[in-house]
Amino acid sequence: MLSTLNCFWILKHTSRGIRFATVIEGIHEAIVDAAPLDIDVQLIMCFLREYSQESAMPTLKESKLGAKIIDQDDFDRDN
């Protein structure tokens, strides 16, 4: 089995008007498609420094509501 840990920059998509759910659904579909190929995918949602904390907060709150493919432990870190 191949395991991958990937970062994705959600605000690069949502700042262009792409809905959070659309991004997550697309990523989730790719993860499901990879499973039969014996590829395990894990994600880390990242926020880029070029965006303010204030601009990231709505996306962070939305991700906590329903994004089961994102490792929730990462939300508790202060860094």
> How does pLDDT run along the chain (79 residues), one tens digit per residue?
888 888 888 888 888 999 888 888 888 899 899 999 999 988 888 888 888 888 888 888 887 765 565 555 444 444 4
Range of the domain at 10: 2-76
Note if the pTM is more than 0.75: no
Q: What are phi and psi of 51, to 5 degrees?
A: -105, 140
Burial per residue of 23-43, b for 16 or more beta-carbon CB atoms within 10 angstroms, e otherwise: bbeebeeebeeeeeeeeebeb
12 CB-contact burial (10 Å; exposed 0-12 / middle 13-18 / buried 19+): middle
- What's the number of domains the chain is made of? 1
CA-CA-CA-CA torsion sign (50, 46, 73, 67) = positive
Rg (CA), the chain: 13
